[in-house]
Amino acid sequence: MTDRIADGLPTVEAVAAAEAIGTEDTVLVSGFGGVGYPKATLPAFAARDEDAALTVVSGGGVGQEVDDVLIEADKLARRYPFQTQAASREAINSREVAFHDRHISRVGDEVRLGEFGDPDVAVIEAVSVGEDWLVPSTSIGHTPSFVAAADRLIVEVNEAQPEELERVHDVFQRDLPPNRDPIPVTGATERVADARVPFDPEKLVAVVETEQADDPYEFRDPTDADLAIADNLGDFLEAEIERNPVLAESVYLQFGVGSLGNALMGELSGIDFGDREVVYFGEVFQDGLLDALDEDLLAGASATSLALSEAGQERLFDGIDRYADDVVLRSADVSNNPALIERFGVVGVNSAVDVDLYGNANATHIGGTDVVSGIGGGGDFNRNCRLGVIALPSTAAGGDVSRIVPQVPHVDHTEHDHSVIVTEHGVADLRGLSPDERMTALIEVADPSFRDELRAYHDRATAAPGHVPFDPETAFDWRD
C-alpha cells in the first residue's frame, strides 16, 4: 500500500466506496478548473445496476469522470454551480438535469447551509490522507467546506498527482457568520494556514487509491483578435497605472478562465508596468502565468486551481522547488473573496458571451437560453475589482454575429459592476458615462460591419424619452 495513506484507514476498491453513496444523495465533489476532481468513485457508482437521481455540487469545472458517467447512466438529477463538459451542457440545456449557476465565492456557505439539499457525501481527490486530515491535489475549490458539511467522506488518493502539491496549498477555513472574522490574508502570496483539510474521523467511510492524471486542459493558440485585445488592454493599462493612485506601487491582476484569459496572461510581457510589483490574485492559475513567473514579470500568484495543460502541469511539477514559494492555492471562498478583491484593488479581466449597449454583460447563456458553463467567479471579480474589465472579441461565428448587441437576453453582470469593455477594436471606458454616452462609446468598439445597425438602434432608442434609451420592439432582434 502507498505511504500516502495512513495506516488503519478503510482503503477499499472504488466499487465498495461507491456503496456509501445513496441513490438520491447530494454528493459534493472536489475539483476546479477541470483538475483535482475524483476519478474512480463516481464511475463505479454509475456502473451500478439501479436507478439513481443524484445532486452533484462541485467547486468549479470537473472532468468527464463526474458529469459524463452519471449522465450516461441517467443518474444525475441536479447539478450546481458550474460545469464544463459537453455531456452536462447538453443535459442541462435539454432540461434533463436541473441546474443553477452560482457565484463561486458563495458556494461553500450555500452547501454548508443546505441550500442544494442536505449534504450527504463528499468525494475528494487528495495527494495524501491521515486519520483526520487530507491534502488536496491540483485544486482546492470548496473542498474544506464540502468536507465540513458532508455526513460521509470518501477520499481518493491519486498517485499520479505529486505529493509536493502540499507545498503550494494554504487551506484557511472560515467560521459561519456572524462569528466570521476577516480573512487574515494581506497579500497575494501570504500563507495563513497549512496544506491540510481537517475532518472528523467518524465521517471517513472509504479511501480509494487511484493513479490517473487530470483530463488535461487544452488551450487554443491565441487568435489575431486575442492578440489585438491584448494590445488594446496593454495600452489602456499603461495609461491607467500612470494616473490611478491605487496602481502606483503594485498591481494585482486577475484573468478569467479560458483560452482568451490564458492568451492575455501570456501577453503580460508586452505591458510596461514600470517598477511596480505585479502579482496575480485570481481563481485559476493557467499556463500563461508560468512564463510570467519565469521572466520575473510576476512576483507571485494566488488561485484555487492549477488549470494547466499537460505540458504546463509537467513544467510546474518539475520546477516545484522554484514555484512553491510564489504560487499559493487557496480555497475558492478565499481566492474569490469579495473583501480581499476589494481590499487589494484588483484589476480583473473577464470575458463574456455578449455585452449590450447599456454595459450589461451576459457571461453564461448563448441566446439567453443555452448555458455554456456558468457564472463562475466572474461576478466575484467584476463586482468587487477596483477596475473591472470585460474583454471579448467583437464578433462570433466567423464574424457573422456581433457580440456587442443592443440588449443582452440574459444579464450576469450589470452596468453597475464593471468599468471597461475591451475588444480588438478598442477600449470603451464607461466610468462616469450616462446610459446614452455608454451606447456611443460601446458602438465604437463593435465590429465596423455592425456599427451602422447599432447606431440605428441607438437612434430608435433615443427617439423615445427616458433616462435609458430603449426600444423594446427591436432590442432582441439581434438574438441568434
Site for a copy of itself in 402-441 (CB under 8 A): 409-414, 416-417, 419, 431-437
Catalytic residue among 283, 342, 437, 453: 283
Site for a copy of itself in 295-354 (CB under 8 A): 338-339, 342-345
Q: What single-letter amino acid sits at 456?
A: A
Site for a copy of itself in 384-403 (CB under 8 A): 384, 386
CB nearer to a copy of itself: pick between 23 and 434: 434
Site for a copy of itself contains 239 (CB under 8 A): no
What is the C-alpha to C-alpha distance for residues 100 and 80, in angstroms, rounded to an integer? 6
Which of helix, strand or coil describes residue 117? strand
For the window 112-141, what string marks contact with a copy of itself as x by the rule CB under 8 A? Answer: -xxxxx------------------------
For the window 209-228, what string marks contact with a copy of itself as x by the rule CB under 8 A? Answer: --------------------
What is the C-alpha to C-alpha distance for residues 352 and 426, in angstroms, rounded to an integer? 16
Count of residues engaged in binding a copy of itself, rule: CB under 8 A: 79
Q: Least distance from C-beta 315 to a copy of itself, angstroms? A: 29
What is the C-alpha to C-alpha distance for residues 227 and 222, in angstroms, rounded to an integer? 7
Question: What is the SS3 assignment for 368-432?
Answer: CCEECCCCCCHHHHHHHCCEEEEECCCEEHHHCEECEECCCCCCCECCCCCCEEEECCEEEECCC
Site for a copy of itself in 240-299 (CB under 8 A): 243-246, 249-250, 252
CB nearer to a copy of itself: pick between 110 and 354: 110
CB nearer to a copy of itself: pick between 72 and 109: 109
How would DSSP label each residue in 189-202? T---SBS-EE--GG
Binding segment toward a copy of itself, per CB under 8 A, in 144-152, 165-173, 323-331, 375-383? 375-383
What is the C-alpha to C-alpha distance for residues 106 and 57, in angstroms, rounded to an integer? 13
What is the C-alpha to C-alpha distance for residues 50 and 38, in angstroms, rounded to an integer? 21
Give the length of the chain. 480
Site for a copy of itself in 165-184 (CB under 8 A): 176-178, 180-182
Q: Least distance from C-beta 101 to a copy of itself, angstroms? A: 7
Which of helix, strand or coil describes residue 147? helix
243's enclosing H/E stretch is helix 224-243
Q: Least distance from C-beta 470 to a copy of itself, angstroms? A: 5
CB nearer to a copy of itself: pick between 65 and 333: 333
Q: Where are the beta strands (DSSP E) in 53-212?
A: 54-58, 76-80, 98-99, 119-129, 133-136, 152-158, 169-170, 197-198, 204-210
What is the C-alpha to C-alpha distance for residues 163 and 324, in angstroms, rounded to an integer? 12
Which of helix, strand or coil describes residue 125? strand
Site for a copy of itself in 77-116 (CB under 8 A): 78, 80, 92-95, 98-103, 109-110, 113-116
CB nearer to a copy of itself: pick between 315 and 460: 460
CB nearer to a copy of itself: pick between 223 and 250: 250
Query: Which position among 215, 370, 444, 453 is part of the footprint of a copy of itself (CB under 8 A)?
Result: 370
What is the C-alpha to C-alpha distance for residues 477 and 480, in angstroms, rounded to an integer? 8
Site for a copy of itself contains 468 (CB under 8 A): yes
Q: Least distance from C-beta 139 to a copy of itself, angstroms? A: 22
CB nearer to a copy of itself: pick between 125 and 412: 412
Active site residue 283: yes
Site for a copy of itself contains 156 (CB under 8 A): no
Round to the nearest angstrom and report the end-to-end CA distance of the chain: 56
Query: Among all residues, which ones are annotated catalytic?
Result: 283
